[in-house]
Structure 1
Amino acid sequence: MKTLLQKAILIALLFVSYTAAAQTKAGVASGRALNGKDKSPLDYASVAVKKLFGDSSIAGVGTTNQTGTFSITGLPVGKYRLFIAYLGLKSINKDFELTAASPGVNFGDLIMEDTGVDLKAVEVVGDIPPVKVKKDTLEFNAAAFKVKENAVVEDVLKKLPGVDVAKDGSITAQGEKISKVRVDGKDFMGNDPLLATRNLPADMIDKIQIIDDMSEQSKFSGIDDGNREKIINITTRQDKKNGFFGNSTLGYGTDDRYEVNVNVNKFKNDEQMSVIGQFNNVNKQNFGGGGGGRGRISFGGGPQRGITTTNMGGVNYADVYKNGTQFNASYNFNKTSLFNKENSFTQNLLGNNTTTNKEDFESTSDRLSHTVNFTLDTKLDSTISLRLQPNVSINESETNSLTNYERVVLGGTTLGRQGYITNSSSPSISNNLLIRKKFQRRGRTLSLNVNTNINNSDAENYLDRVENLSIPGNPGSVIINNQLNDQGTKSISNTSRLVYTEPLSKTFSLELNYQNGYSFDNQDRKVYDYNPATGKYDIINSLFTNDFDNTTFTNSLGFSFNKNEKKYNWNMGLAVQNTDQQRYNDTDKSSFKRNFINLTPSAQFRYNFSQSKRLRINYDGRTAQPSISQIAPIFDNTNAQTFPIGNPDLKPSFTNSLRVFYNNFNFANFRSLFIGGFFTQQFNAFTTQSALITDESDDNYGKIGQKSVNVDGNFNANIFGNISQPIIKGNKLSFQIDLRGSYAKGTGFVSNGTGFTENITKSLSVTNGYKLTSNLDKFDLIAGISGTMNRDTYSANSRNNQKYYNLAPNIDISYLFPGNIRLQTDITYNKVTGRGVGFDTEYTLMNAYVSRQFFKNRGTFKLSVNDLLDQNTGVSRSGGANTIQDSNFNVLKRYYMFSFTYSLNRVAGKNVGGQMPGQGGHRTIRMGGM
C-alpha cells in the first residue's frame, strides 16, 4: 500500500504540473479514457506526457473531455511516457516514440480499473493549475495567485487575468460588471459585492469562480431566459471549514485620522457565521452605496469626492440542513457623513448659442440605513420546492447644501445663491418567491416566480434662493424663493412569471411562459411659501403643488425553443407584450391613458470548441416605456439650470442588444485570451430637445427647458480584449495587455430661434493598458500603465468638439525582508489634458508603509502614509449631447497612521500561525469524501 501511494503521489505531481516549457509544434498523442466498471467515458481525467531522456521535463498536459478523449499536441520527435490519472482508478502509463515518419500515436481506448484504495487516506501533493473552464464558469485556483499577508479577496481578484478592479471596488470580469458575490454558493451580506471582496481574508479562498449566472427559474427549468448576471462565487479551503478566521485592524494617525476594521468568521462544514465592522474617517468604505459627490459620472476615474466618516457593521449566517434546506440571513447598518466642496464650469451647447454656468457648491450629507434580508430554499415534497427571499431596508438622510452660481446667457448675467436642506425617510420591503414543480417525465417542469416591491418615502425640503438678473439696457430684477416642499411617495410593484417546459426529445425542449406586471405609485407634493407675517411656511403654492397617481399593467405571452448538445446549445424565443398606462392628477382632476403592444425576441448560442475554447453569443430585444416624468413631469424649481417639459406623445423605445464573447486558455503554459463585444441599437430612443428661455419676463429666464422626444439611429458599440502571458517560467511573472474601445452615436436637438436643429454627438473612447503581475514568495508586484483618448464631436456646433486624454502609470511593489519586515509603496501618476483652462492636471499619488509581523505571524504592526507627496487632486469631466462640465472637488490629503492587525486563525479548537505570503501554487490536498 505504501508503495502504491508513493507512486500515486509522484504521478499526480507530474499530471498537474504546469511549468513545462513550450514545445515546437510537431507530433500528437491521443486516445480515450474509459471507466473499467461500465466502459463509460471519463471526463476531466488528468493527462501528461513526459520526456524519457534529456531533461525529463513535462512535454504536455491536458484533461479528457466529456467523451473521455484527449489530445496532446506540439510534441517533437523523441521518446515519451504517457500518464493518465483519475481519482479512485488505477493510473495508466505507456511508453511511446514519435519519429519523422510517424509523428502521431493514437492509443485508442484506455481502460482504467478500480484501485481499491481508501480515498480518505490519500493525499496528493502537486502544483495547482491556475484555471479550469466549466460550462458557464471560469474557475481560478487562489493558490496559484500569491498575495501579501492580511490580504483580502479584492487583492486576489486584481491578479486574475481578464478581471479589473476599479478604485471604488467595482469589479469587471471579461467586460461585464460583477453584480453579486457568494461564498460556497450562498449569498453573503445580501447583494453588495464589496461586503465580501473588501472584508473576507484572502487566505480563506480555495477557488474563485466567475459565473454567467442564470436566474433561479432558468436554472430549474434548464432553459435560458436571457436574464443572466455575472457573479463571483468564493469556495473556501477545507481547513477553514471548521474553525474561526478573519483579520481585524486598529489604527490612529495624524489630523485625528482613525481606522477600525473587524472581521470574524466561524465556519463549521456548511454553517457560516460572519461579523464585520468598519469605523473610519479616511474615505474607506468596504460596502457599496457610499456617497462621493453629486452623482456625476467621471471620465477616467479619479479619487473619491469629499471626506467621508463611516460607521458600519453587519452579521451574516448561512447553513444547509440535513433535509437539503438552505437558509441564510444578514443584517447590516451603515452611517456615513460626507463633506463635499466643489466648483464647476458648465457649457451648454445650444446650436449657435453657448450658455455657461459657474458654481461653488458645499454640502454635508448624513445617511443612515438598516438592511435585513434572508433566503430560504426548501422542498415541500419530492417534486415541489420553494425559494423565498424577503428584504427590508430603512434609509434616512439629511443634507444641507449651499450653492453660489453665475449664469451667462446672451450677454445677460444671473447671480444666484441657493440654500437647500432636505430630510427624508425611505422604508422599503421586497420579496421574491419561486415555486418549482417537477413532473415524472424528465425535463417537464412548472414554475412560478413572483417579485414584489413596496417603497415609501417622506421628505421635507427647504429651498432658500435669491437670484439677481442683469441684462444690458434693462434694469436688474430679483427673484426670491423661500419654500417648503413636503413630499410623500408611495409605490408598489408586482411581477409574476409562469413557465412551463416540455421535452420534445433528449436534446430539444419547448418553453411556454406568461408574465404579468403591475405597478402603482402616488406622488403627493405640497409646496408652501414662507409667510413673513406668521413666520411659518403656510402659503400654499399651487404652481408646484400636485398629487399624481400612476398605474401600469403589462401582460406578456411567449415561447422559446432550446437545443442542448455536447458541443453547443442554442435558444430562440419570442414574446408579445401588452402595456396599459394611466395617470390621474388629483390636483386638477385630469387623466390620460395609453396602450402599447410590443414584440420581444431573444436568442443565445454557445459553442465549445474544446474545454479551453468557448464562444458565446447573446441577443435580445427589449422595449422600454417612457416614464411618467417624461410624459407629464412634476414642476420643480430646485434646479438652477434646467426645468422639464412633458411630452404625452412619446412612444416606447426598442433596443436591440448583441453580446459576443470568446475565451481561450492554454493550461500548459498559463496563457489566456478574452475577446468580447457589446452592441446596442435603438429605435424610438428617448432624447432631449433643449431650448433656452430668453423671455426676460419669465421666471425661468436663462434656464434650459428640456423635453423628451423620440429619435432613430442611436447606437453604442463596445469592444474589449485581454491577453495574459507568463514571461517567467511557472507563471511567476505574467504580462497582461488590455484593450478597450467604445463608439457611440446620440441624437439631441437644440433651439435655433425658430425651431430645433438636430445635434448628433459622436463619442469615441480608446483605452490601452499593460500590466505586470508577480507570483513570487517574498516579492509582490502589480505594475501597469494605461492611457485613454476621448473624442466628442457635435454636428450642431463643431467649434465645441472636444478631445482629451488621460495617462495613468502605476506601480504597487513590496518585499518581505528577513525578520518578517515588509516594505511597500504604491505610486500612481495622473496626467489629464484637454479638459479646459484650469482643469488640466498632473499629479503623483504615492502611498507607502513598513510592517512587521509578530506572535507567530498572527499580529502585524504597520506604519503607513497616505499621499506622501501631498499632491492628491480632485478633477472630473462629465458630459452629454449638449453639455460639458468640468469640476474641481475636495479630496483626502496626506496623513500618517500607525495600526495593528490581528489575524484570527483557530481551526478545530487549535490556534494556527498566520499564513505567510507566498503559500500558494504548491499545496497538499486531502482528497477525502469524494
Structure 2
Amino acid sequence: MLDKIQVYDDREEDPDHKLSDMEVGKIINLKMKSKIKKSTMGKIYAGGGTRGRHELGGILSNFRDTLQISLIGLSNNLNKTGFSSNELYTMGGFNRSGGSEVWDGTFGNSYNNGIESVSSAGLNINNNYGERLKLNLSYFYTNTVRDNNANTVGMQTLAKTILHSESTNISRREENKHALNGLIEWVPDTIIRVRYDPHMDFVPQYNTTSSAGNSGNTEGKLTKSFGNTSGKVFNNTFSHNFSYYRRLKRPGDSFTLTHNLSLSENGSDDFNYNNVTSYVSSIKSYIQDRYGENDRANNSGGISETYNRQITKKLNGEFLVNTRYMTATDQGFIYDRSSSGLYDSLSINLSKNLQRNTFIQNLRPLFSYQFSDRFTIRIGLDGELQYVVNKFSNDKSLDMGKRYYKFFPIFRLNARYFSIDYSERLQQPNIDQMVPIERKYSDFYRTIGNPGLVPSKVHSLSVNFSKYDYNHQLNVNFYTGYNLTENNVVQKTTKDGTTGAQTQSYVNEGSGANAYFGGNRVSNLKRPSNGKLV
C-alpha cells in the first residue's frame, strides 16, 4: 500500500530556518504505490452509552494522484471531537491545508463548561498542480448545543455583617456555524514563495437562560429573585493572510512581505426579565422587563516587511517594520417595557456608543548568533508606538487620544531539546471599563467607569522541552510559563452590608501574576516473543 514514508520539518512559514527543529511541525508524506494513487479509504465508528450518550462519525477520502477529496461527518454529546488530530491531519487532508478546523471548534470540543452536543459535516479538497501550485478549499457546517446547569453558594465577611447568597443558573446555547476556508500557495522557483489563505465564518446563535437566587446577612433575608433571558446572536467574520517571500542574491539574505486583514461583525437582540423581591425598607421590590439591541464590529489590518541579513557564518541580523490599524465599535440600546406593552422606553443611561481607533508602529532589529548546530541565542529590541483614540459618545469633548512610546527587549535561547523565551508587551484596558459615567442597572447593581486607567505592561517568560528517543519509541514534552502584569487593571466591588447592593469600578493596582505548566510522555507498546506487552 505504502511505497515510501517521508518525515520532514514544516518550514513553509519559516523558510530561513530561524526556529529550532522542535518548534516546527512535522509533515508525514505518505508515498502511495501506483495502484493506490487512485483509491478510496476511510473510517467509520459508532457507540452508545447510559444517560443518552452517543457518538458516531466517519471519514471517507478519495485519492486521484495529487487530488484528495475528504468527506467528514460526526455527531456526539461527549465533549469531544470524535477524531484524533492525527486522523484529521492525515486521512482528513488538513496537513495539506493548514488545518485551522482541527482546533477552532468545527469538530467540537471547544473547552466550554457544561454538556456539549455537536454535529458536523463537510468536505476538504486538496490538489497540487505540479510542484509549483497548491490549492485547498473546504466547507463545514457545525451545529453545537451547550447545556450548562450551575449552582453557586457565596459568603462574604464585611466589617459589621456577613453576606451570604445562593443562585441557580440553567442555560442553553445553540449555534449553527458555516465555515469556508481556502489556500493558494505558489512556488514558481527556488527563490519566490507566495501564500494566500482566506477564511469566512457565519455563525447565527440562540441563547436562553433561567435563573433564581436569594441573599441575606446576619440580620435575615435581603432579596429573592428569579428571571429569564433569551437572545438571538449573529457573528460573521472574514480574514485573510498574504505572504510574499523572496530569497536574495547574497547567500542567506531574504525579504518577506506579509499582510493580514480581519473583519468581524457581531450583534444580538436580547429580552431580559427579572423579578426581584426586596426585604429591606430602603429598596423597593421591582420587575424589570427589557429589550437590548447591540451591534459590535472589530476590524484590523496590517502590513510588515522583514529584511534578513546573514552578516557572518554564525551571526544573522533581522530588521522588521510592522504597521497595524484597528478599529472597534460597540453600540447598544436598552429599552424598558412601557405600560403599552411595547419596548419603547429608551434608557439613556444604559445605552452606549463606544469606539476605539488604534494605530501601532513597530521597528524591531533582532540578532541571532549560532554557537553550534544545536545552540542559538537571539537578542533584539522592539520599538513600539501606539496611538489610541477612545470615543465614548457623540460628544467629541469626551474623546481621549494618547500616544505611547515603548521599547521592549526580546530574548530567545534555542538548544537541542529546549528553548527559553522572554518578551514584553503593552496591554490596553477595555474601553468599556473607561466610560466616564455611572450606569445604574438596578437599585442593587451599578458600575462606574474610570477614564484614568493606564495600559498594563506584561512580562512573559516561557520554557519548552521536547525530546524523542527513536530507539525506545519514547516522546517526552514539557512546557511552562510565567506572566507578570504591571499596573494591573483590577475590578473593585463595594457592597452595602445592610442591603446587599454593590457598586463595581476599575482601578490600576499593583501587579498580577499567573503561571502554567503541562507535559506528556508517549511511548509505543512492544509485543515481544512471549506475547506479553511491555
Q: Shorter-normalised TM-score: what interval?
A: 0.7 to 0.9
In the TM superposition, what whole-angstrom CA distance separates every residue of 1:79-138 from its partner, at most 9, and x where no partner exists? xxxxxxxxxxxxxxxxxxxxxxxxxxxxxxxxxxxxxxxxxxxx99xxxxxxxxxxxxxx
Q: Partner amino acid for 1:659?
A: S
After TM superposition, give the deviation of residue 642 of structure 1 in Å. Answer: 6.6
Aligned to 1:439: 248
Instruction: Return the alpha-carbon distance in structure 1 between the equivalents of residues 159 and 380 of structure 2.
Output: 44
Counterpart secondary structure, 2:432: helix
* 2:199 corresponding residue in structure 1: 391
Other-structure match for 1:523: 330
SS at match of 1:373: strand
CA drift at 1:556: 1.1
Q: Structure 1 residues 357, 266: CA separation in 2 closer, same or farther (over 3 Å shift)?
A: farther
Q: Which of 497, 500, 507 does residue 307 from structure 2 map onto?
A: 500
Q: Equivalences for 1:768-783 in 2 at 5 Å?
A: none
User: Percent identity between the aligned chains?
Assistant: 18
- The CA deviation string for residues 187-241 of structure 1, in whole angstroms up to 9 with x for no partner, is xxxxxxxxxxxxxxxxxxx7898x8x7882xx134445x9x97757555474676
| Structure 2 unmatched runs, 5+ | 83-101
Is 2:448–2:503's contact at 8 Å kept on the other side of the alignment?
no
- Cα deviation for residue 268 of structure 1 reads 4.1
The answer to whether residue 513 in structure 2 is matched with residue 715 in structure 1 is yes
Q: Is the 8 A contact 2:437 2:448 kept in 1?
A: no
Q: How does 1:351-362 map to 2 (within 5 A)?
A: 355-362=163-170
In structure 2, the partner of 1:653 is 456
1:238-257 equivalent positions in 2, closer than 5 A: 238=32, 242-249=38-45
Cα distance in 2 for partners of 1:439, 1:641 equals: 66
Letter of the aligned partner of 2:215 in structure 1?
Answer: R
Where 1:329 maps in the other structure, the secondary structure is strand
Preserved contact between residue 176 and residue 203 of structure 2 (Cα < 8 Å): yes
Question: Would you say 1:449 and 2:258 are equivalent positions?
Answer: yes
Tell whether the 8 Å contact from 2:160 to 2:497 is kept in structure 1 after alignment.
Answer: no
> Secondary structure at the residue paired with 1:392?
strand
1:592 aligns with 2:400: yes
Aligned residue number for residue 422 of structure 1: 231
Judged with a 3 Å threshold, the aligned counterparts in structure 2 of structure 1 residues 575 and 252 are, in CA distance, closer, same or farther, namely closer
Deviation, structure 1 residue 455: 0.7
How do 1:183-222 and structure 2 match up within 5 A? 216=13, 219-222=14-17
Aligned match of 1:570 in 370, 377, 382? 377
Q: Does 1:407 align with 2:215?
A: yes
Alignment of 1:115-126 (within 5 A): none
- Kept in 2: contact 1:605–1:616 (CA 8 A): yes
Of 520-529 and 340-349, the range deviating more from structure 2: 340-349
Query: Is residue 2:286 matched to residue 1:459?
Result: no
Change in Cα spacing, 1:347 to 1:477, as seen in structure 2 (3 Å) is same
**Equivalent residues in 2 for 1:588-667 (5 A)?**
588-589=395-396, 590-608=398-416, 614-632=417-435, 644-663=447-466, 667=470
Shift of 1:261: 1.5
* Number of residue equivalences: 506
CA distance in 1, matches of 2:394, 2:130: 59
Please say if residues 490 and 523 of structure 1, whose CA atoms lie closer than 8 Å, have aligned partners that are also in contact: yes
Give yes or no for contact 2:80–2:108 (8 Å, CA) kept in 1. no
Distance 1:381 1:663 in 2: 34
Structure 1, residues 862-908: CA drift from partner, whole Å, max 9, x if none? xxxxxxxxxxxxxxxxxxxxxxxxxxxxxxxxxxxxxxxxxxxxxxx
Secondary structure of the 2:15 match is: helix
**Is contact 1:428-1:456 (8 Å) kept?**
yes
The answer on 1:546 being equivalent to 2:352 is yes
Per the TM alignment, residue 467 of structure 1 is displaced from its structure 2 partner at its CA by 1.1
Q: Do the aligned partners of residues 536 and 500 (structure 1) sit closer, same or farther apart at CA in structure 2, a change above 3 Å counting?
A: same
Cα deviation for residue 319 of structure 1 reads 2.2
Spell out the pairing of 1:691-770 with structure 2 (5 A cutoff).
Answer: 691-693=494-496, 702-712=501-511, 714-718=512-516, 732=526
**CA-CA distance at 1:496 after TM superposition:** 1.7
Deviations 1:254-294 (A, max 9, x none): 87766441210123454322111123456554475388999
Q: How much has 1:513 moved relative to structure 2?
A: 0.8
Range that drifts further, 580-589 or 535-544: 580-589
Give the CA deviation at 1:528.
0.9
Q: What is residue 690 of structure 1 aligned with on the other side?
A: 493
Does residue 314 (structure 1) correspond to residue 122 (structure 2)? The answer is yes
Going from structure 1 to structure 2, the CA distance change for 1:347 and 1:493 (only over 3 Å counts) comes to farther
Does the 8 Å CA contact 1:496/1:517 hold for their aligned counterparts? yes
Deviations 1:579-598 (A, max 9, x none): 11112233444311122111
1:336 is aligned, of 141, 144, 156, to 144
Give the AA of the match of 1:598.
K
Change over 3 Å in CA distance of 1:536–1:318 after alignment to 2: same
DSSP-derived class of the 1:632 partner = coil
Looking at structure 2, the residues matched to 356 and 237 of structure 1 have their Cα atoms a distance apart, in angstroms, of 66
Q: Is contact 2:436–2:451 with CA below 8 Å preserved after alignment?
A: no
How is 1:761-910 mapped onto 2 (pairs within 5 angstroms)?
A: none
Deviation at 1:446, TM superposition (A): 1.5
**AA in 2 matched with 1:422:** G
Tell me if structure 2 keeps the 8 A contact 1:673–1:724.
yes
- The CA distance in 1 between the partners of 2:238 and 2:405, in whole Å, is 31
How far did residue 478 of structure 1 move?
Answer: 0.8
Q: Quote how far apart the aligned CAs of 1:557 are.
A: 0.9
Mapped to 2, the partners of 1:722 and 1:261 lie a distance apart of 27
Task: Spell out, residue by residue over 1:903-924, the C-alpha distance to the aligned partner (whole angstroms, 9 max, x if none).
Answer: xxxxxxxxxxxxxxxxxxxxxx
Distance 1:778 1:706, change over 3 A: farther
Higher RCO (C-alpha 8 Å, min separation 6)? 1
2:134 to 311, 326, 329: 326
The separation in 2 between residues aligned to 1:342 and 1:376, in whole angstroms, is 46
> CA offset at residue 553 of structure 1?
0.8
For 2:225 and 2:44, the matched residues in 1 are separated by: 49
Alignment CA distance shift 1:518-1:663 (3 Å): closer
Q: Residue 629 of structure 1: SS of its match in structure 2?
A: helix
Q: Kindly tell me: are residues 267 and 601 of structure 1, through their superposed partners in 2, closer, same or farther at Cα, counting changes over 3 Å?
A: farther
SS for the counterpart of 2:279 is strand
Gaps of 5+ in 1: 1-122, 125-205, 297-304, 609-613, 734-774, 782-930
In the TM superposition, what is the alpha-carbon distance from 1:365 to its structure 2 partner?
A: 2.1
**Distance apart, 1:390 and its partner CA:** 0.7
Which of 55, 70, 74 is the aligned partner of 1:278? Answer: 74
- Alpha-carbon distance change, 778 to 476 in structure 1, aligned in 2, over 3 angstroms: farther
Across the aligned residues of Structure 1 and Structure 2, the Cα RMSD in angstroms comes to 3.8
For the pair shown, which has the larger CA radius of gyration, 1 or 2?
1
TM-score with structure 1 length normalisation? 0.49
Write out per-residue CA displacement over residues 303-334 of structure 1, whole angstroms, 9 at most, x where no aligned residue: xx23x443210211112221421222211111
**Mapped partners of 1:661, 1:654: distance in 2:** 23
Per the alignment, do residues 560 and 363 of structure 1 end up closer, same or farther by CA in structure 2, a change over 3 Å counting? same
1:574 shift after superposition: 0.8
Amino acid at match of 2:366: S
The answer to whether the 8 A contact 2:108-2:118 is kept is: no
**TM-score by structure 2 length?**
0.82
Structure 1 residue matching 2:284: 3-state secondary structure: strand
The answer to whether the Cα contact below 8 Å between 2:119 and 2:142 also exists between their aligned partners in 1 is: yes
Is the 1:377–1:388 Cα contact (8 Å) retained in structure 2? Answer: yes
Change (3 A) 1:371 1:349: farther
Structure 1 match to 2:293:
486
Tell me by how many angstroms 1:624 deviates: 1.6
Measure the CA separation in 1 of the matches of 2:41 and 2:335: 56
